[in-house]
Amino acid sequence: MILPMLTILLITIILFVWGKFPPDVVALISMLSLFLFGILNLSETLSGFSNPTVIMIASLFIIGEGLSKTGWTALAGKKFMELAGKSTSRLLVIVTLGSGVLSGFVSNTGTVATLLPVTISSAWKMGTLPSQVLMPVAFGSNTGGLLTLTGTPPNIIVSNALSESGYESFSFFEFALIGLPLLLITILYFRYIGYKLLPKNKTNNKPVDIESTLHKWIEAYKVHNDYYRLRVRSISPLLNTTLSAWELEQKYNVSIIRIKRRNPNTLKGIPQFIEFPTPNTEILYHDILTVRGETEAINILMVHFRLGLLPLEPAPDEMRNNLINQEVGMTEVLVTPKSFLVGRNVKIGNYFKRFGIQLMAASRNNKPLLDRNIRVKAGDGFLIRGSWENIDLLKSQHENLVICGSPEGLAKDVDDLTTKSYIALGALLLLIVLLVFKIVPGAIASLISAGIVLLSGCVPIAKAYKSISWTSVIMIAAMIPMGLALQKTGLAEIVANGLVNGLGSIHPILLLAGIFLLTTAFSQVINNSATAVLMAPIVILAASQLQLSPKPFMIIVAVSASTAFLTPVGTTTNAMVMSAGGYKFKDYLKVGAPLLLIFLIVSLLLVPIIWPF
């Protein structure tokens, strides 16, 4: 079985390096080969798809999507931009440090899933490419896992192995004695060396920039020309009456777009905002009415109803702060030639219950239509406003309307926080608590948190599957059996025993180096948890035979298992940034090899000092 196993392993590595086929396809071919050659039985071959790690990864993508959809990603991206300014090197430091610290308490995959959209957005806004900042996020998270006992599975594996063998296990923060120096080295590496090696790969994942999009709409539709905010005074006859009593649309040709309450009270059913006022909407004291109408009509309205005119912010800020939020958005649509809308009369500012949208402005032949009453023609463009959910439902009206741009991307660029934002953050914090205190297994903890995100509506259930990177999930699930096959055939143990026994008889430092190189070699192609499980008993046995403390050798196992910098399949985090950064196999080798060498040297210098033989 050893020869077929070795052949499959080598062919798998060659296919990954070649890059001709998608990595998940290569992993599936490798998995099937292990079964067809009789190396693994059926249950062993498919074991990766029932592995808790795979379930946890899929759940973490949903949690990350929840943070993204509820504003935390956009807010973090904004803070990243403020801290980084226009400096790419400063952004590299921020994302590497951020991913490293966060992964000390959250799983590496959870860290990358959370920071991935933030980093992509920050890179594009800064004018650089995602490929120049995403690999530091992955490498930083791998290194940051060494800050705590629960930061990464290999830490737990080596600590438990010590305890089961009768030795003292590692404390929660003991790994930080080597993890913190290595994280600082990683930051300095990308700041002064790594950024020169990072590729400039062009990708098509540029996120929507809400600010530039609003500017484009303002220019195309002239929406700021008849847009006003009016305050209801205490002497206004509108007080405590409904909109239907005054027929503002018919008599004054003015549309009420939105109402902001001065004294919202959720217990009494008084919300802060009424996004789409209806004829039955009651006007209260100090309400702020966002209206649209010609200047003359607005002046008449102000005098007749004794309303105060509020100063407008710059048009983009006005739209951004008053018309778009986590619940309600805007987008641009085009009327198709066969649309039932062609030939119909519509009024700008009206709310159409059938679609759940409000018409804000119109254009024809790239020129804004200033009339309030429009007879629709094919090709007309409309700026519409509605809930993000209703805007998404318009996709089903593709025969009548074509949505322009990416409303979903625009929604993710909204950085104001709502109740759902704090629910999503609470789900993440709950995950951290469950993992740190080991209340439930990691997969169950992630499922609980993901369930909260879904049931609370932070991520619509219909969108949950789309938020998962199935390429990464399938590739990892299909590669897990490779580690099992290496152990089952005895190939890994033959190589490990030969290297450890040979070097151990010369000097402990050489044994440390041998363990590091062997472990990191395995971690480049198989799951780092499987690597740690494989190496831990061999290392403890070798240290016992040489009458040395096993602690420094087990720390080396944990460190080197987290140094899968040379391949995209070494860790989940590497795989997660691969497609987003447009990385090739050689990119990991080029950027990761120098850092791996530095880790080896620093570990050989510090580990024997911190944990004597």
- Using one digit for the tens of pLDDT, what is the confidence trace for 101-120? 877 766 677 677 667 777 88
Is the sign of the CA dihedral 343, 346, 352, 358 positive or negative? positive
Q: Span 328-412: which CATH code?
A: 3.30.70.1450
What is the rounded average pLDDT of the residues 411-419? Answer: 69
Angle, vertex CA 580, rays to CA 120 and CA 183, nearest 5: 70
Parse the chain into domains and list their residue ranges.
2-45+72-204+469-610, 225-311, 328-412
234-244: pLDDT as tens digits: 899 999 899 88
- Give the per-residue pLDDT at 318: 63
E strand segments, 343-408: 345-347, 351-352, 357-364, 367-369, 373-375, 381-387, 401-404
What is the rounded average pLDDT of the residues 538-544? Answer: 79
Let me know: does 238 contact 232? Beta carbons within 8 Å.
yes
Let me know: does 454 contact 464? Beta carbons within 8 Å.
yes
Residues 6+ apart with CB under 8 A from 405: 208, 213, 331, 332
Of the given ranges (51-65, 245-259, 358-372, 509-523), which has the lowest mean pLDDT?
51-65
CA neighbor of 302 nearest in space, from 249, 232, 227: 232
CA neighbor of 577 nearest in space, from 567, 73, 483: 567
What is the rounded average pLDDT of the residues 375-386? Answer: 90
Which strand (E) or helix (H) includes residue 291?
Answer: strand 288-292
- Give the per-residue pLDDT at 114: 66
C-alpha span between 196 and 109 (Å, rounded): 26
More confident residue, 314 or 83: 83
Tell me the CA distances in angstroms from 272 to 174, 284, 348, one per residue in order. Answer: 49, 12, 25
* Percentage of residues in the chain having pLDDT higher than 70: 89
Axis-axis angle for helices 419-436, 72-84 (nearest 10): 80
Is the sign of the CA dihedral 105, 110, 112, 117 positive or negative? negative
Say whether 328-412 and 225-311 share the same fold.
Answer: yes
Of the given ranges (9-23, 122-136, 153-167), which has the lowest mean pLDDT?
9-23
C-alpha span between 574 and 135 (Å, rounded): 7
Residue whose entry in the numeric block shows the structure tokens 């046995």 = 541
**How long, in residues, is the chain?**
613
C-alpha span between 467 and 465 (Å, rounded): 5
| pTM across the whole model | 0.64
- Note the Cα 552 to chain centre separation in Å: 36
What order of strands is seen across the sheet that includes strand 227-232? 273-274, 255-260, 288-292, 227-232, 307-309
Q: Within a 10 A sphere around the Cβ of 204, how many other Cβ atoms?
A: 5
Q: Could you give the 3-state DSSP secondary structure of residue 335?
A: strand
Q: Does 322 score more than 80 pLDDT? A: no
- Note the Cα 172 to chain centre separation in Å: 27
Residues 6+ apart with CB under 8 A from 416: 71, 325, 326
148-172: pLDDT as tens digits: 876 777 887 788 878 877 888 887 7
Does the domain spanning 225-311 belong to CATH 3.40.710.10? no
Let me know: does 30 contact 445? Beta carbons within 8 Å.
no
430-445: pLDDT as tens digits: 887 887 777 888 788 8
193-231: pLDDT as tens digits: 988 898 888 776 666 666 667 777 777 787 766 778 899
Let me know: does 244 contact 279? Beta carbons within 8 Å.
yes
Is the sign of the CA dihedral 121, 127, 128, 133 positive or negative? negative
More confident residue, 209 or 552: 552
